[in-house]
Amino acid sequence: MDEASAQPAVHHHAPPQGFIRKNVFSLDHKVIGLQYYGLALAAVFIGMVLSWLMRLHLGWPSLAIPGLDKLTANGAPGGIMTPEYYLSLMTMHGTIMVFFVLTNAPLAGFGNYFLPIQVGAEDMAFPRFNMMSFWVTLTAFLVLIAAFFVSDGPPISGWTAYAPLSAVGGDAGPGQALGQTLWAVSIAIFCIGQLLGSLNFIATTLDLRTKGMSLARMPFSTWAWFVTAIIGLLAFAVLLPACVLLILDRVAGTSFFLPAGLVVSDKLQPHSGGSPLLWQHLFWFFGHPEVYIAILPSIGIVCHILPSFLRKNILGGTRTVVSSLVAFGFLSYMVWGHHMFLSGMNPFSAILFSVPTLIITIPATILTLLLLGSIYGAKVRFDSPALFCLGFISVFISGGISGFFLAQPSIDIYLHATYFVVAHFHFVMAVAAIFGIFAGTYFWAPKMFGRMMNETLAKWHFWLTFIGVYCIFMPMHYIGLAGNVRRYAAFTDDYLTPLIPVHKFMTIAALCTGAVQLIFLYNLFHTRFWGKKAPDNPWESTTLEWSTPSSPPPFDNFGGKHPVVYRPPYEFVEGGTTDFLMQTSPGEAAAD
Amino acid sequence: MSGKFFGLLVGMITVVSSAFFVLHTWWLPPDISRLGHGVDHQLNETMIGTGLLFIAGQLVLAVFVWIYGSKNETRKIKFFPGGGAVMVTFAIVIVGIEILVLTFVGSKVWASIYIDPPPANAMQIDVSAEQFAFYFRYPGPDGKFGATHPELANDGNGNFFGLDPMNDVAARDDIVVATLTVPVNRPIVLTMHSKDMIHSFYVPALRLQQDIVPGLTIPVHFTATKEGRYEIVCTQLCGLGHYNMRAFLDVVSQTDFDQWLKSQSGD
Amino acid sequence: MQKKYVVLAALGLAVSSAHVLLGSPAKPAGSAVITGKVSYSGTPPKMKPIDMSKEPVCAKEHNPPDKTQNVVTGDTDALQWVVVYISAGDQGGAAPSAPVRFDQKGCMYLPHVLAMEVDQPLEIYSNDPVAHNIHPMPKINNEWNKSQPPGSPPIQTKWDKPEFIPVKCNIHPWMHGYFAVLRTSHYDITGEDGKFSLKGLPPGKYTVTAWQEQYGSQSQEVTITAGETKTVNFVFKVLPYSF
């Protein structure tokens, strides 16, 4: 579709008045984007603290952590963590990180802020839905956090909440009464927020592009947000009913996921006719696209940022990159069974699922090679956004490689549910996706706050974090190969005891790397209020967000004007006073 | 400066990470099963193939950043020869071939363990998984397993399988134990049930893992080829005691096994 | 002979003054005794050996392995772990403030059956280098479970309604026991000889109940006068299979 959308912005809303309208219940996509980002920031620090507690316990199980007994009703008598408390920390850590950090910041955060600007629109297509989506998401977060404070404690079934453990109710163990119900309610509410957000992203991309902004001229980040929103629409539309069914099994006596004859805590359960595997199918049909929702925006952000620091476009240009993103997203719907190779479903289906799982490595490899090939012949500028993009390439390779092993059922027989899996998803999600968020923050801070972040602090943040994440997550591959089972609150088995020194090492690395993130937090807050004033286009970039009349942009983004786009993004030229051409600069455009 | 540092750092990370893989510093335990070598072979092949890709990818990154990160105002921008098409072709061809080979060989390994039927003389042992222990049942001298009744299950009495020996004669001689004892080199079929949650039966030394799902009876088979004591651990999160859920697999000689069986029946 | 009566009287005086001083309800201390033996008839079931191999540090404390305890027989035809108590008639005094103690040791509950009164403090100790999660499963009291990782303090609790409460460990499935929460202070639990003795009863009409975890309860009515010792025996019909 090369036809530029000739429609001007359909919705005009008057500039907001008053503090509440401007900063709290705002219709402005930029404020909403920052609200999402702020929520993700709070969530990531909570999630990180939970992981520190987990890792402390794994390295030193009999450690009495002062104050821990005050934090929880009965999870840590004398400060010593009980097994169920460890599992509840793990469940909340995973849930908070996957949903409230990785689905929030790169997609809802940056996407809300920059998608309308990058397509030249005044705001999202449905500003009221947009505002609603944030408050719905915040509600979901608060419901989830409430689970920490119920008498039985938070749920212990992991972010994957497999039935029957999640469906039986309180008999299944501590945390499985009200805590688990709150979890299911929270996630169901979260789905609604995401669906509203997806609608906005898709409608805005299709309908509100300014004159000259054909789909082919959209930046990589916009394409990534657009594709991710489509994936999200279908994925969250399955998770929502799955959570409803789970809640019904728990409170209404239904048996969607519970077979007959369950004896839990010596009590015969009254359910019959359901299938625990049904939950897994529904969850992973959502769950696999979900993890691609977590990584795709970061890939898009990295592809968007790098050209400014290489002074050339990504190799292959829009066509190749976007085709790979689309293939990546499309295939993500066909692979969910690779989480279920050993689940008890028909073993033939394992072979069936492993084929698209292996095929999906092709677009991932293409993207990696395009990024690598872009560096060839470039003039690299090493500002902090670039460092995180280059670091992204390294960690994306590391994370992707372990996927090759897990995609094969014959190898998964051995590696399933070991720390090898934990290594894989942390590299791609906790490291690569987060690096994308860091890159985006350092890159777009001058536009969002009108101020430059401190480069020295940013560089310290990068180098220490880059070393730190390898120290935390690379050893997980090794202990996984040794058969170290995951989700264990303690390592009491004979064959696991020799691995405890490795756990101690990873704990220390995690604590140190966590402390380093305080540098980022300090830098972010200091910049927001006292940072050096930023020029309008500090990175000499080409896309529409750098052509707004001010930083931060005015409430309607372009100061009453509708920008006209003459050329594709990432056009760099040699000779002449500047080496780049903004999308708004007229004159002969290179072939799209 | 940053470019060289980045290149060096990535290079070092690559060398150190790879070393631990190559040196097998932490590695799989020795394989003691008839079919496990297929899994090990597949793992090693993948390790080599992806290891090369890993090292190549990281080193290319390191070298490119080193070279093109150098400050040289007069250097001209260059484009990778062949453009994006080269990358696409490389990915499709190289990764495509790797996928085909791995799928073809790997499917045969998978099928040999999970699809092919067990050998005809396999000995059947019934397995019950519950929060938080595994229990194993042998049919006893009558060769028949008694029927199980979930409503009769009682851990305090030791009735882990819900047997009714009062009324079910076949159940009277069933041997219920917490340790899986098997004779070496004898095919074993485990019929696995769960009383409450999804558990999983994992024996790293056998290269065998299978989820145990309530409502389903799931069979797996194996032949242990080396005597010794090995650990069986639960790998599917099943509640607070998940970390403590394990049993031992005792692989003994046929004579020792027969003796053990007799001593259990006497009790 | 005379000296004994003087001593007894002095003791009685001391005890009743102590009661008055300590302010417990004025119930005259009795002197009657109901005693007897609990035995079984029929072929008792064979108890099963407990395989603790998943927890080696406990397994090595029991060599040869302990057995299940749902039907424990003793000398000749004696039945152990039977709670014998007054279920009707004089109920005895208010709950004592002295706690009763339940131990987790070597991955077994000690004692197998612990009797206590309503509202009497109960202390649960874990003495093992592994975590336990004790889970009493009452039907009318409040159900709860609590983990005790190694080094954690004892659990302090009590029960406010009379009930025979099965207790299990959520982590070690073979660990089973009972809390016998009783309204009366007149109770006893039979040992290896199957004998019980309910002392200090005021004269009156009583119902004596014997409860065994596998075979339920049996009751007999007894009328006693001051200072009398009456014998009441219980016989439980057992079956060759306990499951």
Pair B188, B261 in one domain: yes
A239 vs A288: CA distance, rounded Å: 11
pLDDT at A369 over 50: yes
- Which residue in chain A is spatially nearest to C176 when comparing CA positions? A266
Of B114, B143, B158, the position where a domain reaches its end is: B114
Chain A partners of B116 at a C-beta cutoff of 8 Å? none
Pair B103, B129 in one domain: no
Which residue from B166, B241, B248 is facing C170, i.e. has the nearest CB?
B241
| Cβ-based contacts under 8 A for chains A and B | 304
**What is the pLDDT, as a whole number, of residue C2?**
60
Assess contact for B168 and B146: CB atoms under 8 A. Answer: yes
Pair B97, B158 in one domain: no
Q: What is the pLDDT of residues A118-163, one digit of tens each?
A: 999 999 999 999 999 999 999 999 999 999 999 888 999 999 999 9
Helix (H, G, I), strand (E, B) or coil at A262: coil
Contact C153 A266 (CB under 8 A): no
Contact C46 B267 (CB under 8 A): yes
| Cβ-based contacts under 8 A for chains A and C | 47
Which residue from B47, B115, B213 is facing A277, i.e. has the nearest CB?
B213
Question: Is the Cβ of A84 closer than 8 Å to some Cβ of chain C?
Answer: yes
CA-angle at A513, arms to A512 and A516, nearest 5°: 90
Own/partner contacts of C94-101, CB < 8 Å, gap of 24 or more, are: C94/C24, C94/C25, C95/C119, C95/C120, C96/C120, C96/C185, C97/C121, C99/C123, C99/C156, C101/C125
Pair B15, B87 in one domain: yes
Q: What is the pLDDT of residues A351-368, one digit of tens each?
A: 999 999 999 999 999 999
Chain A partners of C150 at a C-beta cutoff of 8 Å? 62, 80
A377 vs A540: CA distance, rounded Å: 19
Q: What is the CATH number assigned to the segment(s) C30-237?
A: 2.60.40.420
Give the residues of chain C that fall short of pLDDT 70: 1-29, 91-92
**Positive or negative torsion for Cα A252, A257, A260, A264:** negative
Work out the average pLDDT over A281-303: 97
Distances (CA, A) of A365 to A5, A395, A404, B52, B225: 33, 13, 11, 14, 40
For every residue of B201-248, DSSP letters joined together read EEEGGGTEEEEE-TT--EEEEEEB-S-EEEEEEE-S--STTGGG-EEE
Pair B130, B70 in one domain: no
**What is the pLDDT, as a whole number, of residue A20?**
85
**What is the pLDDT, as a whole number, of residue A16?**
79
Pair B242, B260 in one domain: yes
CA-angle at B88, arms to B82 and B89, nearest 5°: 80
pLDDT at A440 over 60: yes
A75 vs A152: CA distance, rounded Å: 9
Pair B109, B169 in one domain: no
B217 vs C141: CA distance, rounded Å: 37
Q: Which two tokens stand for residue A109?
A: 């955060």
Assess contact for A236 and A194: CB atoms under 8 A. Answer: yes
Assess contact for A165 and B239: CB atoms under 8 A. Answer: yes
Window 8-67 of A: residues touching B by CB (8 A cutoff) are none
Which residue from A77, A83, A84 is facing C153, i.e. has the nearest CB?
A77
* Chain C nearest CA to B26, separation (Å): 24
Mean pLDDT computed over every residue of chain C: 89
Contact B65 A375 (CB under 8 A): yes
Chain C partners of A83 at a C-beta cutoff of 8 Å? 131, 133, 147, 149, 171
Q: What is the pLDDT of residues A318-351, one digit of tens each?
A: 999 999 999 999 999 999 999 999 999 999 999 9
A246-A251-A257-A258 Cα dihedral, nearest 10 degrees: 160
Pair B100, B157 in one domain: no
pLDDT above 70 covers a percentage of chain A that reads 97
pLDDT above 90 covers a percentage of chain A that reads 85
Domain extent, residue B12, equals 2-114
C185 vs C117: CA distance, rounded Å: 7
Contact B200 A342 (CB under 8 A): yes
C88 forms beta bridges with: C207
Helix residue spans in A311-433 (DSSP H)? 317-331, 347-359, 361-375, 384-406, 409-415, 419-425
Q: What is the pLDDT of residues A43-85, one digit of tens each?
A: 999 999 999 999 999 999 988 888 888 777 668 888 899 999 9
Q: Which two tokens stand for residue A91?
A: 């469940």
**What is the pLDDT, as a whole number, of residue A405?**
97
Using alpha carbons only, how large is chain C's radius of gyration in Å? Answer: 20
Assess contact for A264 and A171: CB atoms under 8 A. Answer: yes
CATH number assigned to the domain comprising residue B253: 2.60.40.420
Mean pLDDT computed over every residue of chain A: 93
Pair B127, B109 in one domain: no
Of B114, B135, B160, the position where a domain reaches its end is: B114
Nearest to B90 by CA among A325, A370, A355: A370
Give me the number of domains chain B comprises.
Answer: 2
- Preceding amide of C64 cis, omega within 30: yes
Chain B partners of C215 at a C-beta cutoff of 8 Å? none
Give the residues of chain B that fall short of pLDDT 70: 266-267
Of B77, B95, B114, the position where a domain reaches its end is: B114
Contact B216 A344 (CB under 8 A): yes
**What is the pLDDT, as a whole number, of residue A5?**
47
**What is the pLDDT, as a whole number, of residue C92?**
62
Q: Which two tokens stand for residue C132?
A: 């336990």
Q: What is the pLDDT of residues A445-482, one digit of tens each?
A: 999 999 999 999 999 999 999 999 999 999 999 999 99
**What is the pLDDT, as a whole number, of residue A590?**
54
**What is the pLDDT, as a whole number, of residue A1?**
38
Confidence of residue A12 (pLDDT cuts 50, 70, 90): low
Confidence of residue A393 (pLDDT cuts 50, 70, 90): very high
Give the distance between the most distant pair of CA atoms in chain B: 94
Assess contact for C209 and C87: CB atoms under 8 A. Answer: yes
> Tokens 């880059």 label which residue?
A466
Indicate the domain borders of chain C: 1-29, 30-237
Which residue from B2, B84, B212 is facing A320, i.e. has the nearest CB?
B84
Chain C partners of B245 at a C-beta cutoff of 8 Å? 54
- Neighbours of C, requiring at least 3 CB pairs below 8 Å, are A, B
Question: Is the Cβ of B23 closer than 8 Å to some Cβ of chain A?
Answer: no
Pair B88, B141 in one domain: no
Phi and psi for C117 in degrees, rounded to 5?
A: -100, 160
Assess contact for A28 and A556: CB atoms under 8 A. Answer: no
Work out the average pLDDT over A543-551: 94
Residue A280's H or E segment, with its range, is: helix A276-310
